[in-house]
Amino acid sequence: MLIALGSARSAKIMALRAACARVAEADPRWSRAELVARPVETGVARMPLSDMQLMRGARNRAEAVRELLASEGQRADFYVGLEGGFHSITFDGERRTFLHGCAYATDGARGYFGHAPAVTMPPSIVARVEGTGRELGEVIDEVAGERDVRSRQGAWGVLSRGLLTRAMSFETALVAAFAPFYNARLYR
């Protein structure tokens, strides 16, 4: 089984490897999954600020990697896109913003979304991202006093003091997006 990921970011590759290992517990065929990762464009803002942008970005990544492989004369069993960004809601009159991730997995005929858990974003960080139009990765580097946090623990790791990582959040979203494929009996 070949799975193509529409990103070359290490946290996303780690998430896909971990998700395949997790799914293999339910369907042993997934233990033989081979991965190919290619950077592609999302067609959405570099810093998604809504669920619509997250979902569109994840789907666009999967479709873009499918098209890229086809142009190279290759085909995968599954094409995957991952996108992280903000989800904001007003609850009891107060605006709340969460860091959230989305996965999209398709076999080329059918496609399904999965969502990651969400963690509350500190209002000061939200204001810096939204006020400047910069990506969360740039802002979190400044807040953490580190470089390229998103390629390692991500904002998730900074916010949870290492208890959850960017890869772990995307792993959950991927397991959910793959469910209709490894548990097809329930999704007919």
DSSP secondary structure letters along 9-59: -HHHHHHHHHHHHHHHTT-GGGGG-EEEE-----SS-SS--SHHHHHHHHH
pLDDT in tens, 76-86: 999 999 999 99
Structure letter (DSSP) for residue 134 = -
pTM: predicted TM-score of the whole model, two decimal places: 0.93
Fold of 2-187: Maf protein (3.90.950)
Antiparallel, parallel or unpaired: β 2-5 and 34-37: parallel
- Contact between 101 and 83 under an 8 Å Cβ cutoff? The reply is yes
- Contact between 39 and 32 under an 8 Å Cβ cutoff? The reply is no
Structure letter (DSSP) for residue 6 = S
Task: For residue 117, give the amino acid letter.
Answer: P
- At residue 157, the pLDDT reads 87
Task: For residue 102, give the amino acid letter.
Answer: C
Lowest mean pLDDT across 59-68, 117-126, 131-140: 131-140
